[in-house]
Structure 1
Amino acid sequence: QPAEQPRCYEFHYNYPLNNVTDILNELRENGTTSSQQINHIYNQYSTIYNVKCAAYTELIILVKSYIGHFDQRRAIRSTWGKCHGENVRVVFLLGYSAEFDDQVRDEYAEYKDMIQGSFRDKYRNNIYKTLMAYNWVVSNCSDSKFVFFVDDDYFVTIPNLLKFCRDKKWDGRDVMFGHKQCNPKNPVRSKSSRHRKWYISEEEYQPPILPPFLSGGSVLTHITVVRKLRIAFPYMKTIFLDDVYVSLVAQKIGITILHDKRFVNAE
């Protein structure tokens, strides 16, 4: 039985483009579009460390990790990240900090399981880290099947995750699974608020409420969805709230975001 979905409020977001689906159709049919890209997100950083995929990988797990979280990455590699012989690849996503340069170089040399972007590794740059992940998957792992985005403070039971992937009827369905936020949330507009970590100006994001979105801590989808989003991102103005942004773009191009309690982090 499909998981019961929470009731969500209606949300319409027309700025700055309301025809992203038309742009994608034009690109698919003609290989080009008359519309101009709003942002050049993939050109705003370089890749310091990179890895390649095998010819076919059933499940790619992309772990968003703060550069200084050496212990968290070590723990993942020694526990659930071992993958136990399954056709699964675990890759860590890092930004840059000169403070950890030598340690990261040694870590990469030993494990070869990290992608590092040249942007500063801080919370408000998570948007770069997330979009780097989408770009990397399409560029390096286009033959993969499922893609799972997760934070480094989650414990993932890979056999259960693979069972979930295989049991779902994905054919023709553009869906993303995760912890769906359905209660209307107001953007944080005050820098003095105790929630100032999430402060976002009206210039960056105009609407008075946030759209329904999947919390960025754990999101599962299919490679076809990743490809569509990767193409769409340059035509939608970015905001630093990466989970809100990805869900916003997804819904603009007809991708359904679905809640499943198995993607909620049990602390």
Structure 2
Amino acid sequence: MRPWFYIRKLRPLLYVMAGLWLLSSVQQVSDIESKGFLSGGLLRPRVMRALKEVPPEVMSYRREFMRSYPLQVDLLPYVMDKITNGTEIPFKKHYPHNYTYIHKPEKCKFYSQKGARLAILVKSAAQNWYRRHTVRTTWAKVHPGVIKVVFLVAYNKSVQGMIDYEADFYKDIIQENFQDAYFNNTLKTVMAFNWAMESCADANYYLFVDDDHFVNVPGLVQFIKSLSRDTQENLFLGFLISCGEPERSKTSKWQISLELYPFDLWPPYLAGGAFVTSFSVAQKMQLAFPYVKPIGIDDAYLGMVAKKLSIRPMDSVNFHTTGPYASYEYFIHGKLKSNKTGQKSHGVFSLPKTECI
């Protein structure tokens, strides 16, 4: 028989195969346009390779952040309605904090309801027992009726026995069951705000500080008392970074991908070493956390939440690296080594009016 005879016999099968291929291609294009992902099929490998070759586009923070990260809603009215009237926020909690406590201290108790009732939440790596000991035996030795000092740690299997002992002996450890790692510092910060609102709502100010800082507690309390009533109510104060750029280098400790944060600038934020908030600011932030997409850089994340809530960060050199009220320190053989330069106290400077806002 001639070859054309076989082709003619197989022609219906060839038509069917061509039709199936076409339907598969159309379906995949439809999936990309309507759902943003690919289903299985003949085109998937080629399309996926093509998509990987297209780099993500940098978005303008000034034009896009408020309306596109991550909810296209103004959170502040809903948060205020929740605080004032108890009305539930009518959006799905896309970013819930689904972790449980391993250890948490008893509720705060202040002997007086007058003046500055200050809770100090010290962020600490699980293995940094010597820093926690140094803090307990130096600047944190203030009357417990005046301040409450607690330590924020996460889970680390290799040192968990030590953490259990500390928590039982000192009663000052807040720990949840997520892994203790640098890029989980945001989870540690959210944990701190949650505990503060649950168990330390009698405080009217909260200082968040790293375990390698020295805090002049009496000076800090007097400084807060010296502020105007309006500043005290809206206090979100520290070392202001008003126009920061995300670090894109893959070799950097603070690298953040375009897929995770596509904007060219950060909102104004406070460097995470030491900052202080009022109860009012802390309450708003804690309610907003489930609706703002988290990132691993905790201080920048708080700046994003503050921006969504129209909270204005404030700058003061009292909280800069060598500031008189919260200064960076380093440790030698378990002893506190000062890095202060003898700066004089300065006042509060409101957020600069720059184009980065």
| Superposed displacement of residue 206, structure 1 | 1.2
TM-score normalized by the length of structure 1: 0.89
Q: Is the CA contact (8 Å cut-off) linking 2:267 and 2:307 kept in structure 1?
A: no
| Superposed displacement of residue 54, structure 1 | 3.3
Mapped to 2, the partners of 1:113 and 1:209 lie a distance apart of 37
Match for 2:177: what amino acid?
S
1:249 aligns with 2:282: no
Mapped to 2, the partners of 1:77 and 1:69 lie a distance apart of 13
Match of 1:118 in 2: 177
1:23 aligns with 2:85: no
Match of 1:187 in 2: 246
| Superposed displacement of residue 85, structure 1 | 5.7
Mapped to 1, the partners of 2:92 and 2:240 lie a distance apart of 31
Secondary structure of 2:290's match?
helix
The structure 1 residue matched to 2:218, chosen from 120, 141, 159, is 159
Listed as ranges, the gaps of 5+ residues in structure 1 are: 1-8
Secondary structure of 2:183's match?
helix
Mapped to 2, the partners of 1:145 and 1:22 lie a distance apart of 22
Moved more, 127-136 or 232-241: 232-241
Mapped to 2, the partners of 1:248 and 1:228 lie a distance apart of 13
Match of 1:3 in 2: none
Q: Is the CA contact (8 Å cut-off) linking 2:118 and 2:204 kept in structure 1?
A: yes
The structure 2 residue matched to 1:262, chosen from 315, 318, 329, is 318
Instruction: Evaluate the alpha carbon distance shift between residue 54 and residue 21 of structure 1 in structure 2; reply closer, same or farther with a 3 A threshold.
Output: closer
Q: Deviations over 1:140-188 (max 9, x none)?
A: 0111111000000000000101101211124474230100012x33212
Match of 1:47 in 2: 101
| Alignment: residue pair count | 253
Instruction: Evaluate the alpha carbon distance shift between residue 53 and residue 33 of structure 1 in structure 2; reply closer, same or farther with a 3 A threshold.
Output: closer
| Superposed displacement of residue 30, structure 1 | 5.4
Q: Deviations over 1:210-242 (max 9, x none)?
A: 222100110111111111110011111111111
RMSD, aligned CA: 1.9
Secondary structure of 1:82's match?
coil
Secondary structure of 1:155's match?
strand
Q: Deviations over 1:100-155 (max 9, x none)?
A: 01111111121111101111111000000000000000000111111000000000
Moved more, 207-216 or 118-127: 207-216
| Superposed displacement of residue 86, structure 1 | 5.4
Mapped to 2, the partners of 1:54 and 1:25 lie a distance apart of 25
| Superposed displacement of residue 34, structure 1 | 2.3
**Which of the pair has more CA radius of gyration?**
2
Match of 2:236 in 1: 176
Instruction: Evaluate the alpha carbon distance shift between residue 106 and residue 30 of structure 1 in structure 2; reply closer, same or farther with a 3 A threshold.
Output: closer
Mapped to 2, the partners of 1:198 and 1:75 lie a distance apart of 28
1:78 aligns with 2:137: yes
Listed as ranges, the gaps of 5+ residues in structure 2 are: 1-60, 112-116, 323-338, 340-357
Moved more, 124-133 or 105-114: 105-114
Secondary structure of 2:90's match?
coil
Moved more, 147-156 or 220-229: 220-229
| Superposed displacement of residue 33, structure 1 | 2.9
Q: Is the CA contact (8 Å cut-off) linking 1:52 and 1:141 kept in structure 2?
A: no
Match for 1:240: what amino acid?
G
Secondary structure of 1:256's match?
coil
1:13 aligns with 2:66: yes
| Superposed displacement of residue 22, structure 1 | 2.9
Match of 2:126 in 1: 67
TM-score normalized by the length of structure 2: 0.67
Match of 1:93 in 2: 152
Percent identical pairs in the alignment equals: 34
